[in-house]
A and B are shown apart, each in its own frame.
Chain A
Amino acid sequence: MSILIQIAYLISSILFIVGIKKLGKTKSAREGNIYSAVGMLLAIAATLVTLDILSFVEIFVCILIGGSIGLYVSQKVEMTKIPEMVALFNGFGGLASFAVALSDYFLKTQSVDTYPDSVNAVSIIVSVLIGGVTFTGSMIAYLKLDGKISGSPITFKGQHPLNLILLIGFVVAGVLTYMNPGDPIFMIALIVISLLLGVLTVMPIGGADMPVVISLLNSYSGMAACATGFILNNNVLIVAGSLVGASGIILTQIMCKAMNRSLTNVLLGGFGQTVAGPAADGPQIIVKEIGVEETAMLFESASSVLVVPGYGMAVAQAQHVIRELMEQCEKRNIDFKFAIHPVAGRMPGHMNVLLAEANISYDKLIEMESINDEFPNTDLVLVVGANDVVNPAARTNPESPIYGMPILNADKAKTVIVCKRSMGKGYAGIENELFGYPNCLMLFGDAKQTITKVVGELKEM
């Protein structure tokens, strides 16, 4: 029997790997997700078959509850809220591994009285740490993303020394648990410290850095599953857990690179607090305004258009009206594409999902590296709800806090129209040089209403 379950787990692992491989191409991505789901189903079925099920009712009820919640959330969630959902699910994954580790610990120390061996004990301790940090950290990230607590960095004096002390405390309690596995007091200390560490490490991180944080927590949830695999001596947990762990780390690196920040810098937090001073002393930016009709005329006379969307566009729910704008332009044989910055949106790849939902073909969505050389040959760029990602200061001004960040070279186009509600600043809290450039025109107003009017004008032309 044991060899059969091992073979089933092996097939599951292969299905996860092939699934992720297929997820790498837009055409086969959906199929890949199904492969991976089949792998999961097989792992669950194999586990159920080989366990002499003693508590069928409880297992069935738990699966029913979890399954209904999962189904409900997955069908109801709005695409703008996917980052919140991913944050929440990261937390659930962390808590699940945390609970499995504790379950194993209490089983071995209290019910059965066979103490965990050393590998087992170390795995339990590691699993409690990663699982606990993932759980509370993800909950804070969720609350920040959802606006239930302030997205601005919450810092206090002595924060970093406190985290260090807690970490040392964890190591000490871990060693004591290892030496006295039967005494739950040290395990309780481990639980409390790990949960506290999750809260304290995510609190100081600002809302703009959330794409990095969710990616990192995604990785942690995989590592927690992996640690659980070491506790239970289970290969499929280790394979699946390390795939997720690797995926999260790569996305974290990509996000850090896109914001020109080091991971340490993000984790220490507090970005965007100290930069308001120097920006205020800078030269006053004089902007030129443009109206709806003139905007429509510019679109009419352009032969190539690039749209730079930002999260502001999604907040204004302007993606559908931008698709109409695209249809108007395509009717006139105007080349119309989207230039997507890696941090457009609030999690990696978020903007693509939002535009796909608005029924925009994915071959129109071009990533930064591929599109940046096209800006100088583009007649018209429309920036909607984006700010820092088109600020030329990132290239030109070494004093700027965003200096060195890769940006979309919108300023190099013949004409740039920036659709914006007001002269407010972006996430980095700095002035955007682009707005004062001679080729830049400001179209003030709510993105959805203003662009609807532009589309209306175009329809009449």
Chain B
Amino acid sequence: MQVLVIDDDVAVRQTIALLLEDAGIEVVQAADGKEGLRAFQRARPDLIVTDIIMPEKEGIQTIIDIRKQDPKLPIIAISGGGRIGNTDFLEIAARLGASTTLPKPFDPEALVSLVRKLGGEAKPA
């Protein structure tokens, strides 16, 4: 399984990448939505994990754009912080195309199991 991780925070992105790689999952990384869309078109991953607040193209718009090209691809939206609460951003992300959401900070195991679950469901046996 190959996962595309999109997050402008390099520390968060690499932590997620290490976490998934340790679980035997191949990872492609992108630093923002624009780069993420290019990586999506190039790598055609089995699942995407994307942050919401990012420069150039933020996560929700990225999800909307990916959905136009692939309505079934599992997408996990992650976000943290914000006065109006990350629930709001994640709620909108879910409404506009994310398969599921995970507020930051999250339990690493929870992310890995979510990726396995959604990625496994998406991948034909």
A binds B: no
